[in-house]
Structure 1
């Protein structure tokens, strides 16, 4: 499936370069995850990888720069 460019992308890039992290909110199936994945340097899908919550609780530094998507 190909990515559909969103009008929010320029604003998103500005906020990412200013803070390094953003929260994307919106209705179901509007493209939040697809858009985030286009610009993310790493992805943690805590609801899909059973190791992530365990690592978060014990040693969250291990997750820096890791990709669990």
Structure 2
């Protein structure tokens, strides 16, 4: 394979990879968002459970965003 043919092939493959990445980006970001929200809900529940266990008032705990 000549140097120019190799460069052309690499360019074609890179363009295809970028196109595929753009087409799937919304799916990947949506999955990441759902995973992050679930993790945040779990950590919020852990914090509430710890607060109840220790008997600390709610207003002394760090403020976190309300998750719906």
TM-score bracket for the superposition, by shorter chain length: under 0.3
Structure richer in helix, relative to its length: 2
Larger radius of gyration: 2
TM-score (norm 2): 0.23
Q: TM-score, normalised by structure 1?
A: 0.23
